[in-house]
Structure 1
Amino acid sequence: MISEREAERYLLHSRHLNEQMVRMLKAIGYDVGFKRGQGPYLYDREDQQYLDLLSGFGVFALGRNHAAVRKALKAVLDADLPNLVQMDVSILAGILAERLLRYAPYLGNAFFANSGAEAVEAAIKFARGATGRPGIVFAEHAFHGLTYGALSLNGDTNFRAGFEPMLPDCVAVPFDNLGALEQVLSTRGMAAFIVEPIQGKGVHIPSDGYLAAAATLCKKYGTLLVADEIQTGLGRTGRFLAVEHWGVEPDMVLLAKALSGGHIPVGAVLTRKWIFDKIFNRMDRAVVHGSTFSKNDLAMAAGLATLEALEAEDCIGNAARQGERLLAFFKGMIGRHEFVKDVRGKGLMIGIEFGRPQSMKLRAAWNMIEAVNVGLFCQLITLPLFKEHKILSQVSGHASHTIKLLPPLVISDADCDWIERAFEAAVSDSHRVPGAAWSLGKALAGHAMKAS
């Protein structure tokens, strides 16, 4: 069926799914029709190889179609397991919970969901139910998902616009600002402070003492600290959890994305036992929160296989080593290229921020393209990376000047060579005015003006 209907790939989506997504892909030349993936690589309809630095927004920490995960899933399918017997419990779910909690021994229970957004929704309910308080604090510029509860904690107005009103009693504070956090917590009406240890939109890293001090403030005012590790967890930053960089022990940890092994969606809430016991406190409340498919055997097997592969292949160590190398390279660009303003990251979660240059000629070019659409300059980097260097990357968010890299944790030295060569060429070309990059910029500006 796939081979027979391949020629209709974009037509089917235009007719029956998201036409605007197809229009966007065609406008920027990303309609190459990827047909297979292996490890950190993608292959298009012409069998050209690309290096994927998006990893499905962090899903493919092990790369695509990892052999051990596939083997585990096939074993479950071949075992004729009963699966989803709602009046029983799953052995695989019990084993996965046990293994996840080994990474955070200060937590006592696990709750499984189908996605990161579902994990956030569960955390909101657990926090309110355990504390008896209504308020949820979140950080400006945060991203926690797009379902209604998660969207209510979303710091990007572009996602919220048109869907208000959000959930009541959700309060935003500036990220990395302890004074603002304490002012809100001191009302003693806040059930939880939900925070990404490193903000995904823009790769914003807190100052070294922030998360530990936030944990102290939460304890002082009776508020739960919830670490959203949906993107930063499972080794992305060179530690199993990003909070480990700062020695913080949250009351809840949220996981998803990479835990799937890239095959079966799975999310998890790891929580202190007393919180869990407050929610599931009687036999008649044993199902007070749940999700039909959340503990299905395929998802649990994918999670177990992922954890085993992370350890067996030293993926977390590789993320730390390769991340250190790439960060050093990108930081070295700051002094050599005017457009490169800042570089941030830990492990293989890296943000390269571009900004207004000093020289008159480059500044005029920057002003021209940014006047059409804020953040458009970054496309002068990402599009040549894709078309000329076969690297898939993306801007960090709406109207952002930061390109975020989330490569699979299995990338090699040769892959890092590829990344460095490609970025050096693309960024160098952006400094040549007039030049090919700026011709592309004019074309993009034309598309943007037509769209508006």
Structure 2
Amino acid sequence: MDIKAIVSEREAERYALHSRHLNEQMVRMLKTIGYDVGFRRGEGPYLYDREDRQYLDLLSGFGVFALGRNHAGVRDALKAVLDSDLPNLVQMDVSVLAGVLAERLLRHVPYLDNAFFSNSGAEAVEAAIKFARGATGRPGIVYAEHAFHGLTYGALSLNGDANFRTGFEPMLPDCVAVPFDDLAALEQVLAARTMAAFIVEPIQGKGVNLPSDGYLAAAAALCRKYGTLFVADEIQTGLGRTGRFLAIEHWGVEPDMVLLAKALSGGHVPVGAVLLRKWIFDKIFNRMDRAVVHGSTFSKNDLAMAAGLATLEALEAEDCIGNAARQGERLLAFFQGMVGRYEFVKEVRGKGLMIGIEFGRPQSMKLKAAWSMIEAVNVGLFCQLITLPLFKEHRILSQVSGHASHTIKLLPALVISDADCDWIERGFEAAVADSHRVPGAAWSLGKALAGHAMKATAGA
């Protein structure tokens, strides 16, 4: 089979195939907003469309491509696995590569003892729910409002966005939401001593919401007080994204479990991991007849384990975490400098290369009227007046941080250069400045988007 030939021969049918056999609404959305450029290749932090025009990718596959696309070291590791004729997934044996990857991950989190591998971040969340309930004998799971932990049923039961939950209820019982960064609300729920775990993102992906400085440490202390496990969901924030190996290191907290995925894949083979304390692990796998009480057929496959090992190697060898801290500090300073200069820019949040730029209602009457007009059609629509010009005019791929959000989230590859930061700063400066010109090109675009939104609503 010639994969290159298939891609080349069927390229013209890219969107037709998806409309016919996959997700037609996704194709309609891409065409409506002009994102149907047909990306054909990727290299590092860059994408190239059918005309071979270069784009800077600030989505990175929602954080998957921390090393950029098609990293040579990861590719070489995967080729080596394929060329080695390894037995792979014998099931009645154990994998050398899985053992080594577990060992190397736990070096970065020395207060934890064991690793459990899964196929994705959502599977890691599912495992954490089971491990917490099994280890504590309690049914309850606490999560934070506005959280995103995945879309499988257990993970969806901890999802704070009603847009994802609607139509799929009822969720798992005994899952309780509390406001993020609210210790009193958390303690009120924990005090009943029925909660197995508090599962929390150190920095919430939907909105890039940061906790106050003492929140996570105090939350961990409350969990210890009431016998609840403290679980850090680092699926997006982990592996260097925030300028530390784990985001929770910024606050000096040692969770009972850490969940990883996304970047661990190297952008090639999905892999998730749960790192946890030995006593929790031993409560689950406590007898020989329970050695397979939880698992997943493909979870420790050699390609995934090799991708994880190569990713850890590259993060260290290329100082990706240090680069994330340095470039993140520069970009945060630039965006924070927009606050006060531009009425629409309300707040800038983030750590390392996880940055949120929040837009909001302006003060001047002319801009306030324009804002109200477009937001009345669809909450969060204003951000498209920034992301679409960034894409069309500056070839920067970005997007809002969630449904009906006013925050644009940046998750560039951890390997971006000074020149890439120049590119980002030029593009955002121009796009944000244009949004303040009413009437102007940005608002003409806004009216067109509003028309599409109203037609879609009428059609529904």
| TM-score, scaled to structure 2 | 0.98
Task: List per-residue Cα deviations over 1:320-376 (Å, max 9, x = no partner).
Answer: 000000000000000110000000000000000000000000000000000000000
Task: List per-residue Cα deviations over 1:157-194 (Å, max 9, x = no partner).
Answer: 00000000000000000000000000000000000000
Task: List per-residue Cα deviations over 1:379-403 (Å, max 9, x = no partner).
Answer: 0000000000000000010000000
Of 426, 431, 434, the match for 1:426: 431
1:276 CA displacement: 0.1
SS at the partner of 1:250? coil
1:200 CA displacement: 0.2
Match of 1:248 in 2: 253
1:271 CA displacement: 0.3
Task: List per-residue Cα deviations over 1:172-223 (Å, max 9, x = no partner).
Answer: 0000000000000000000000000000000000000000000000000000
1:155 CA displacement: 0.1
Q: How far apart, in 1, do the equivalents of 2:267 and 2:403 lie?
A: 25
Q: How far apart, in 2, do the equivalents of 1:327 and 1:274 lie?
A: 40
SS at the partner of 2:211? coil
Task: List per-residue Cα deviations over 1:73-105 (Å, max 9, x = no partner).
Answer: 000000000000000000000000000000111
Q: How far apart, in 1, do the equivalents of 2:205 and 2:147 lie?
A: 7
1:279 CA displacement: 0.1
1:331 aligns with 2:336: yes
SS at the partner of 1:51? strand
SS at the partner of 1:333? coil
1:55 CA displacement: 0.2
1:439 CA displacement: 0.2
Match of 2:454 in 1: 449
1:126 CA displacement: 0.1
Q: How far apart, in 1, do the equivalents of 2:125 and 2:402 lie?
A: 20
1:310 CA displacement: 0.1
1:65 CA displacement: 0.1
Task: List per-residue Cα deviations over 1:219-242 (Å, max 9, x = no partner).
Answer: 000000000000000000000000
Q: How far apart, in 2, do the equivalents of 1:3 and 1:277 lie?
A: 51
Task: Map residues 23-422 of structure 1 onto 2, 5 A cutoff.
Answer: 23-422=28-427
SS at the partner of 1:154? coil
Q: How far apart, in 1, do the equivalents of 2:108 and 2:140 lie?
A: 29
1:120 CA displacement: 0.1
Q: How far apart, in 1, do the equivalents of 2:279 and 2:109 lie?
A: 15
Task: List per-residue Cα deviations over 1:48-77 (Å, max 9, x = no partner).
Answer: 000000000000000000000000000000
Q: How far apart, in 2, do the equivalents of 1:218 and 1:256 lie?
A: 24
Q: How far apart, in 2, do the equivalents of 1:433 and 1:4 lie?
A: 46
Q: How far apart, in 2, do the equivalents of 1:361 and 1:4 lie?
A: 51
Q: How far apart, in 2, do the equivalents of 1:129 and 1:246 lie?
A: 28
Q: How far apart, in 1, do the equivalents of 2:72 and 2:18 lie?
A: 30
Q: Which runs of 4 or more aligned residues in structure 1 lie more than 2 Å from their structure 2 counterparts after TM superposition?
A: none
1:122 CA displacement: 0.1
Task: Map residues 10-25 of structure 1 onto 2, 5 A cutoff.
Answer: 10-25=15-30
Q: How far apart, in 2, do the equivalents of 1:272 and 1:252 lie?
A: 7
SS at the partner of 2:150? coil
Task: List per-residue Cα deviations over 1:258-316 (Å, max 9, x = no partner).
Answer: 00000000000000000000000000000000000000000000000000000000000
Q: How far apart, in 2, do the equivalents of 1:97 and 1:356 lie?
A: 48
1:409 CA displacement: 0.1
1:449 CA displacement: 0.2
Give the alignment's Cα RMSD to 1 decimal: 0.4
Q: How far apart, in 2, do the equivalents of 1:129 and 1:103 lie?
A: 26
SS at the partner of 1:230? coil
Q: How far apart, in 2, do the equivalents of 1:166 and 1:191 lie?
A: 17
Q: How far apart, in 2, do the equivalents of 1:363 and 1:105 lie?
A: 52
SS at the partner of 2:357? strand
Q: How far apart, in 2, do the equivalents of 1:402 and 1:440 lie?
A: 19
Task: List per-residue Cα deviations over 1:82-136 (Å, max 9, x = no partner).
Answer: 0000000000000000000001111000000000000000000000000000000
Q: How far apart, in 1, do the equivalents of 2:325 and 2:123 lie?
A: 29
Mind listing any 5+ residue stretches in structure 1 that lack a counterpart? none
Q: How far apart, in 1, do the equivalents of 2:170 and 2:333 lie?
A: 44
Q: How many residues align?
A: 452
Mind listing any 5+ residue stretches in structure 2 that lack a counterpart? 1-5
Q: How far apart, in 2, do the equivalents of 1:245 and 1:208 lie?
A: 9
Q: How far apart, in 2, do the equivalents of 1:164 and 1:72 lie?
A: 42
Q: How far apart, in 1, do the equivalents of 2:393 and 2:430 lie?
A: 10
Q: How far apart, in 1, do the equivalents of 2:422 and 2:166 lie?
A: 41
Q: How far apart, in 2, do the equivalents of 1:201 and 1:263 lie?
A: 24
SS at the partner of 2:275? strand
Q: How far apart, in 1, do the equivalents of 2:280 and 2:349 lie?
A: 35
1:2 CA displacement: 0.6
Q: How far apart, in 2, do the equivalents of 1:355 and 1:243 lie?
A: 29
| TM-score, scaled to structure 1 | 1.00
SS at the partner of 2:415? coil
SS at the partner of 1:341? strand
1:422 CA displacement: 0.1
1:252 CA displacement: 0.1
Task: List per-residue Cα deviations over 1:28-58 (Å, max 9, x = no partner).
Answer: 0000000000000000000000000000000
Q: How far apart, in 2, do the equivalents of 1:126 and 1:59 lie?
A: 25
Q: How far apart, in 1, do the equivalents of 2:222 and 2:363 lie?
A: 42
Q: How far apart, in 1, do the equivalents of 2:386 and 2:277 lie?
A: 44
Q: How far apart, in 2, do the equivalents of 1:341 and 1:312 lie?
A: 38
SS at the partner of 2:273? strand
SS at the partner of 2:409? strand
SS at the partner of 1:368? helix
